[in-house]
Structure 1
């Protein structure tokens, strides 16, 4: 049951909220295929992609280079105004044949996260195509592992074996990108959006930013190795509701303090710490496949738990809260059930 109890006086809430709204937030969009003929779950049709880019242009939101924009978020002095970065996972051929031309017409920057082991395979770009794109202005090529494996430590996997496996996947891919393209961007995208705290530590040790597949905007309180992106496949990138995502604000809590998502009980409980910027009666939360769910709010925080267990490997709790400028704070917590089979 939802208990509607304020954590802090409204005056303090308004003061804190205003300070967040003056900061620029970064919304990162995540794509896979740009095609009408590839699997719908990971595809954005060409017409929808064109419409999304047109909407961004009509809204007047700046599309920025991901490496520098991410650095700027954590610089202590981010610029005012909403910003958007565009990313593609896996380096599918359709990004080269369709997406690159659409973005090139407007000279928009973007990032391609590459599974180096798949390059040249059927449906993927070749090294020559990646090299051609890398030479264009505003195109960043970054690490998406060698092999696109599930990197969170498996329940029966020895720590030493896990360490060896992920070290090869991360470092071999980075070395390959540097050898083939002369690039070593400090960016990493987790395959399937799966990570645990140990994997985050490895990403942090390398000085990389880590990007997941949970939705939300990036702000100064975002965890640098668990940065959100909005999936833009057909089912999630529809124009109806897209403007709210493009203008969303990062949730005003330190996401480093949230769990890494590896569940120990099903359904899991997510606890949000008290925040001057959040009023529980204005908070709305959803669970994958279950729609809107209730939560408990006390002076110790908000406790969110789905009403029944999940039967999938990955699922999410999504929460939104109105921001002062008419946009929404957006938080997505991805959960990972390691007892479920890998994709």
Structure 2
């Protein structure tokens, strides 16, 4: 009981001094006749924007967020960035008028090959260029939305790197050619899939990169694995959005394993996280989850803990999420992206 009381007192008395951080929301389709798992209706999207406006959230351009974090300058309180993956035409038809009504900037990650091959389903270059002059940042999602970290049969490391150069830098060149004034070297991983080798290439080429693991973009974020919260499909409800908007970056300064891509045999990976020395994360209230399983953290010292699932993680993409109450009533949040291949090196889409 004494320990519980001391924890409660800490939560009540510690000032809400957090990292300079920003919630990044990820959308795909804004439509009622597209796949539900990646869609939000125009009515729900309007509800999201109205909630942001009514509750004093500051929607800022993705470049503003990057510059503030890179230069260690203050961000607006309750900062939010809005992003769309793939550049579907229904975003231009249904989301853009609402964003313009609310005067909110946004970013669209595009695939040049797809938009040129499937005109009408994706926005064309003329539309994207017009939007870029009216509040949108047009950025890189790869040429064709390929599974980039999956090696082709017999492909050498040098051949894979050349293919990545064509896919990523080729897409960047297309954006620069067609979008007036577009200079941002920002990349979103197709399917949220990345590994250490791909991260290293993107760092070498001067990009910052966005994943699909949940969490808050902050000074502690890996520049090549910036988290975003999905806000479509089962995450489109306003109640889910409220929870995400009230989160803060968990101050993770080291993570093991660093590479999301595991071996098939590593079916119950041990995740080790080290927190900043001045962290406010309660050992008592910290909880981690692998799917529906709650994991018990093992603390090595006041700043380091580990977790390991008792059951095998599934093949393909999965996450281990760790949360703890923050002094302002929200939550600290950190998500670890994992990819477990099958015995032959493949994994489900």
The verdict on a shared fold, with TM-score over 0.5 as the criterion, is: yes
Higher mean Cα deviation, 54-63 or 180-189?
Answer: 180-189
Partner of 2:73: 77
Deviation of the 1:231 alpha carbon = 0.5
Residue 164 and residue 20 in structure 1: after superposition, are their counterparts in 2 closer, same or farther (change >3 A)? farther
Partner of 1:167: 165
Partner of 2:52: 56
Contact 1:150–1:194 (8 Å) recurs in 2: yes
Contact 1:143–1:174 (8 Å) recurs in 2: yes
How far apart in 1 are the matches of 2:178 and 2:111?
13
Whether 1:313 and 2:319 are equivalent positions in the alignment is no
Summarize the alignment of residues 223-238 of structure 1 with structure 2, pairs less than 5 Å apart: 223-238=222-237
Deviation of the 1:99 alpha carbon = 0.6
SS in 1 for 2:252: coil
Deviation of the 1:255 alpha carbon = 5.4
Q: What TM-score, normalized by structure 1, do the two folds share?
A: 0.89
Summarize the alignment of residues 1-343 of structure 1 with structure 2, pairs less than 5 Å apart: 18=15, 20-21=17-18, 23-79=19-75, 81-120=77-116, 121=118, 123-136=121-134, 138-154=135-151, 157-182=155-180, 183-254=182-253, 259-264=258-263, 265-275=266-276, 276-288=279-291, 290-299=292-301, 301-339=304-342, 340-341=346-347, 343=349
Residue 218 and residue 257 in structure 1: after superposition, are their counterparts in 2 closer, same or farther (change >3 A)? farther
SS in 2 for 1:145: coil
Deviation of the 1:294 alpha carbon = 2.7
Deviation of the 1:80 alpha carbon = 5.2
Higher mean Cα deviation, 85-94 or 293-302?
Answer: 293-302
Deviation of the 1:241 alpha carbon = 3.2
Deviation of the 1:198 alpha carbon = 1.4
Name stretches of at least 5 consecutive residues in structure 1 with no aligned partner.
none
Residue 312 and residue 38 in structure 1: after superposition, are their counterparts in 2 closer, same or farther (change >3 A)? farther
Contact 1:223–1:255 (8 Å) recurs in 2: no
Contact 1:217–1:250 (8 Å) recurs in 2: yes
Deviations 1:246-273 (A, max 9, x none): 1211111125766221113012221112
Deviation of the 1:20 alpha carbon = 4.3
RMSD, aligned CA: 2.3
Aligned residues: 330
SS in 1 for 2:284: helix
Deviations 1:182-220 (A, max 9, x none): 323121101011111111111112221100001111111
Residue 256 and residue 111 in structure 1: after superposition, are their counterparts in 2 closer, same or farther (change >3 A)? farther
Contact 2:28–2:85 (8 Å) recurs in 1: yes
How far apart in 2 are the matches of 1:62 and 1:312?
38
Higher mean Cα deviation, 183-192 or 152-161?
Answer: 152-161
Residue 219 and residue 268 in structure 1: after superposition, are their counterparts in 2 closer, same or farther (change >3 A)? same
